[in-house]
Amino acid sequence: MTIGAPILEIEVLVIGLFVLMLEAFFERIDKRTLAYTAIFGLAGVLAASFFLAPAYADAAATGFWSFYTADPLAIFFKRFALVTTILVLVMMIDYAPIVRESVHGTTHQSGLGEFFALPIFTCVGLMWMASAIDFVMIFVSLELVTMSFYVLVSFTRRNPATLEAGVKYLILSALSTGFLVYGITWIFGVTGETNLARVATALASPAIETGPALFGMVLVLIALGFKIAAVPFQMWVPDVYQGAPTPVTAFLSVGSKAAGFVVLLRVLQPFFMLPQMERLLTVIALLTLIYGNLAALPQSNLKRLLAYSSIAHAGYLLIGVVSLAGEAVSFYLVAYLLMTLLSFTVLVVVAKQTGDNIEDFNGLAKRSPFLAFAMLIAMASLAGVPFTAGFLGKFFIFDAALRHHQTTLIVVGVITVACGFYYYLKVVRAMYWEASANDVAVPLSGLSRLTMSALIAGIIFLGVYPQPVLNALRPSNNDAAAVVR
Amino acid sequence: VILLFIVFCPIVAALAILAGAPARRTALWAAGFTLAATALAYLGGFEAGQRGFQFVSSYPISSDWRINFTIGIDGLSLMMLVLTAVVTFAAIWFTGEISRHEHAFYACLLFIAGGAMGAFASLDLFFFYAFHELALIPTFLLIGIWGSGNREAAAWKITIYLATGSFILLLGLIMLYRSVPEAARSFDFRALQKAAATIPADAQGNIFLVLLIGFGILISLFPFHTWAPEAYASAPAPAAMLHAGVLKKFGLYGLLRLALPLLPQGAQQWNTLLIVLLLGNIIYVGLATIAQKRLDWMLGYSSVMHMGYIFLGIASGTLLGTNGAAVLIFAHGISIALLFGLAGEIRQRTGTLVLANLGGLGKVMPRAALAFGVAAFASIGLPGFANFTGEVMVLFGTFRNGANPDRFTIFQIATVLALWGVVISAVYMLRAYRQIFMGALRETWKGVTDIPRTLRAPIGILVAMSLWFGFFPQSFVRIVSPTFKSYFTQK
């Protein structure tokens, strides 16, 4: 049995609406039921994504299919978005008590329903974005994602830091949207097209002026740089990450970043014939690597540390983008998803008891060996220790860079990896050889324990056996033969 | 199968200990089993004198990258496995009372041992590299949690140095992989060896330099050596034994295994640089060793210094010298492990390793004095010990390269200078022995007890190994030299 790809997005949308309806019409139920419903539904969609009819769009496609593709990359990132959302929802269940404290409301669970429903709509946006091959479509799906994030970031609105984060995110994000639209306008003005493939053909013809197209492209790049937190568009990241509710931070740093990179991979392909773009991206990658890693060194708050580390990882990913290695970037993103979400899951649980500074992790190994071990794996993977997914991610990225003779990027990359070891192991140090202030074990729900175990297993499995991910990114021969519209 | 057991026994035991198995007993049994299995492979299964790899088994990992989990051994890796098994066993036996996180301590030790085993048995570059890195975080924890002195700084220093070194090494390995034409591309040693002739000379030079820096940092090649003495001084004795005795040899093994056969022209291009640097190891670090005032620092520096001889063997470009390097790797691993183990025992009893504060301990610790003396003689390279055999082979091998009665080349000059190193090591070792064990016994050390009788077993094994290969070096060379012979007949 096979189904068409757009069904997936529609299903997710229906789940989101269903959860909202439940919330609206059944006031009495435990709001956490909503989250469980959503997780269950999304898992169903995830399973359904393995029964898709393959469908490709080419430059000649018209109508819906000139906006939308279901190539392996798109399907891959749809699954990526689904997995991320499911994990974020698990985190949100753990985080629910904190939300309840800081939301006004008449009943004891006011606000939780929306808190659980909004990520589903973000997920729809991410999934559309994975398939978008037209600037208009890219813009619309990006906005869907950003809108829901506006609300989520400032959700715990009694907390001033959260409000600050919300305002910062709102203003800067709106500004970057402006850049995006303006850039698209320029490109449309030059080429008369919005479909990426047709833009590429138009650009290839000698009659086109490259100057204005390049200008438009730089504007688009600025907007995407904001999404992926590349230097110098990273100013919002530390404050927003620290202020936003932790599950939302995790969602921002994984979902939003992955979406940005998918679009970047798609958009840059038509433009990579221009050497200026490559030079510009190389500079951005260098700045991102250096800034992210150096600024992470002195951090003492784990959430802020992870914010800077997310900038640093954007740098490694950009190396892959500059080297035109879509496969390496995708693999790195998967590794990044696993290890970032694992560290945030542990953070949510531990922060409930003590706090989110690195000091609050002191002696965690004694209090809760399992949590400490999970964090150890996450940090080892983020730093790039072999037998974890993070190492293979770096391996593929560096390989791609070597293939393209990006010597400067490689040298800087190796130095920053060493920096990374310092700040990630700082967390390990706190957990394993500092004495803890109290000896009370951190309470851990069964669902969270299960999720963490799954993430640990995933990190180690992909660290040893990467082939499944590599296979998923490539159209198999049968698929290519049977193109279905 | 026996190899799989050797590699995974320590790792499985480490996991079992983390899960709650009785720490010391499990660790000892695991190390014992591994040692027994290695001995079985050495005595029973392995056919010496044959070229190529034996006990090969392979499991595909990534077909896109032609990465397979392939393990197998030839003579060189067999001897490295024997060394690892012996030193691991001794290190775990030497482990005394652990006051906190006892389980984690033994698990870390076993992880290091398993990583070393895996690295030496891997025939696939990817796993060769990855297994070595497995030891990184356990080392960090071992020094950080259970270390002494300035443990925090030492832990950071070794971790960041080694992380940098290994990422440089990784780049070198990827370059190597990429330098072979598409069709022959593989992470498999054997496939690479076949394709080695196709690597262009200038690429060889670049790759060799990157590999040399990467491995050099891991081996503490001058001037990348500063992490080593500090880390070994702070590390708990068993960790120092394992790291200095076994793990550091990974880089040397890598050079012997990869750089020499695959990149012969690259090796020639950079030979002069390597010789200058290794003389830095022998002379400069040697003099620095004499200046040390604490036993642990002195041993740390001396282990850096002795790396110079092994490098000299690698740079010698003759079969004799290369064989000597292999013997010396083995011999040094054993003697330094014994020295670090004994130093740990002394520290446990007296609480200090400052040479000036010790003295006369030979009266209260006769067994320790004897063992330390033997190990010190071995380390200096007295005839009869394997260290002597190795050094003589290295020096002769190097001297013979391009020997010409009219004119000395760099090889002869290097040999002459390196000979001074023997004198240097005699100076610091004997002086340390005198200051610790001879002279008047201080009042404070009256109550110090000797090392327990049970330690005779690991000490005995280590000394016996050193003596056996010292008196019968042929039994060692016979096993490793088929590997090297193929390097020199290829040219």
SS (H, E, C) A200-223: HHHHHCCCCCHHHHHHHHHHHHHH
HSE, side-chain direction, 13 A CA sphere, residue A373: 14
Nearest alpha-carbon partner for A356 in A15, A145, A46, A95: A95
Cβ contact, residue pair A399, B178, below 8 Å: yes
pLDDT surpasses 50 at A482: no
Spatial distance between the Cα atoms of A36 and A34, rounded to a whole number of angstroms: 5
Region for residue A362 given its phi and psi (left: phi exceeds 0; alpha: psi -120 to 50; beta: otherwise): beta
In the predicted model, what is the mean pLDDT of residues A201-221? 82
Q: Does A331 touch chain B (CB under 8 A)?
A: no
Nearest alpha-carbon partner for A165 in A238, A253, A97: A238
ipTM of the complex: 0.84
Q: Does B99 touch chain A (CB under 8 A)?
A: no
> Which pair of tokens denotes residue B455?
């330690």
Beta-ladder partners of B58: B70
Q: Does B8 touch chain A (CB under 8 A)?
A: no
> Which pair of tokens denotes residue A292?
């992210």
Q: Above pLDDT 90, what percent of chain A? A: 9
Cβ contact, residue pair B61, A402, below 8 Å: no
Spatial distance between the Cα atoms of B293 and A110, rounded to a whole number of angstroms: 69
Q: For A416, which residue in chain B has the nearest alpha carbon?
A: B164
| Helix, strand, coil share of chain A (percent; to 5) | 75, 0, 20
pTM of the model: 0.88
Which of B65, B68, B70, B134 to probe the A interface (max A CBs under 10 A)? B65
CB A441 within 8 A of CB A365: no
Cβ neighbours of A402 in B, within 8 Å: 171, 174-175, 178
| Residue B149 burial by Cβ neighbours in a 10 Å radius (0-12, 13-18, 19+) | middle
Nearest alpha-carbon partner for B399 in B425, B418, B384: B418
Chain A with chain B: Cβ pairs closer than 8 A: 79
Cβ neighbours of A377 in B, within 8 Å: none
The pLDDT of residue A484 is: 35
pLDDT in tens, A411-455: 888 888 888 888 888 888 888 877 776 777 778 888 888 888 999
pLDDT in tens, A69-115: 777 888 888 888 999 999 999 888 888 888 777 766 656 666 778 88
Separation in Å, CA B168 to CA B9, B161, B303: 30, 11, 23
Which amino acid makes up residue B30? A
Cβ contact, residue pair A418, B170, below 8 Å: no
Spatial distance between the Cα atoms of A192 and A186, rounded to a whole number of angstroms: 9
pLDDT surpasses 70 at A58: no
Beta-ladder partners of A3: A52
Q: For A379, which residue in chain B has the nearest alpha carbon?
A: B137
Q: Does A414 touch chain B (CB under 8 A)?
A: yes
Q: Choose the closest CB to B164 out of A376, A418, A428.
A: A418
Taking a contact as any Cβ pair under 8 Å apart, which residues of chain A between 332 and 371 contact chain B? Answer: 365
Q: Provide the residue-wise pLDDT of chain B in tens; the chain has 491 residues.
A: 777 888 888 888 888 877 777 777 777 788 788 888 878 777 777 777 667 777 777 787 777 777 788 888 888 888 888 888 888 888 888 877 777 777 888 888 888 888 888 888 888 888 888 888 888 888 888 888 887 778 888 888 888 888 888 888 888 888 888 887 777 777 887 777 777 777 777 788 888 888 888 888 888 888 888 888 888 888 888 888 888 888 888 888 888 888 888 888 888 888 888 888 888 888 888 888 888 888 888 888 988 888 888 888 888 878 888 888 888 888 888 888 888 888 888 888 887 778 777 877 878 888 888 888 888 888 888 888 888 888 888 888 888 877 677 777 788 888 888 888 888 888 888 888 888 888 777 777 777 777 788 888 888 888 888 888 888 888 888 888 887 887 776 54
The pLDDT of residue A481 is: 37
Q: Above pLDDT 70, what percent of chain B? A: 98
Q: For A402, which residue in chain B has the nearest alpha carbon?
A: B175
Task: Give residues with Cβ within 8 angstroms of A42, minimum separation 6.
Answer: A12, A15, A82, A85, A86, A89, A120, A123
pLDDT band at A485 (very low <50, low <70, confident <90, very high): very low
Cβ neighbours of B160 in A, within 8 Å: 418, 421-422
Task: Give residues with Cβ within 8 angstroms of A61, minimum separation 6.
Answer: none
> Which pair of tokens denotes residue B136?
């990184």
Region for residue A4 given its phi and psi (left: phi exceeds 0; alpha: psi -120 to 50; beta: otherwise): beta
Q: Which residues of B66-87 are buried (b: 16+ CB within 10 A; e: fewer)?
A: bbbbbbbbbbbbbbbbbbbbbb
Give the DSSP letter of residue A107. Answer: S
Q: Crossing angle for the helix pair A389-403 and A326-353, nearest 10 degrees?
A: 150
pLDDT in tens, A252-272: 888 888 888 888 888 887 666
Cβ contact, residue pair B160, A391, below 8 Å: no
The pLDDT of residue A26 is: 78
Cβ contact, residue pair A465, B62, below 8 Å: yes
Residue A99, min C-alpha distance to chain B (Å): 36
Spatial distance between the Cα atoms of A192 and A271, rounded to a whole number of angstroms: 16
Q: Choose the closest CB to B160 out of A395, A421, A429.
A: A421
Q: Does B145 touch chain A (CB under 8 A)?
A: yes
| Helix, strand, coil share of chain B (percent; to 5) | 75, 5, 20
> Which pair of tokens denotes residue B397?
């091998």
Cβ neighbours of B137 in A, within 8 Å: 376, 380, 385, 425, 428
Spatial distance between the Cα atoms of A399 and A389, rounded to a whole number of angstroms: 15
Cβ neighbours of A385 in B, within 8 Å: 133-134, 136-137
pLDDT surpasses 90 at A182: yes
Q: Does B260 touch chain A (CB under 8 A)?
A: no
Cβ contact, residue pair A418, B167, below 8 Å: yes
Spatial distance between the Cα atoms of B118 and B128, rounded to a whole number of angstroms: 7
CB A151 within 8 A of CB A170: no
CB A456 within 8 A of CB A345: no
Cβ neighbours of A418 in B, within 8 Å: 160, 163-164, 167
Q: Does B141 touch chain A (CB under 8 A)?
A: yes
Spatial distance between the Cα atoms of B481 and B486, rounded to a whole number of angstroms: 9
Nearest alpha-carbon partner for B258 in B267, B245, B270: B267
Name which residue leads in pLDDT, A348 or A57: A348
Spatial distance between the Cα atoms of B84 and B329, rounded to a whole number of angstroms: 11
> Which pair of tokens denotes residue B377?
């003689």
Other beta carbons within 10 Å of B473:
20
HSE, side-chain direction, 13 A CA sphere, residue B332: 29
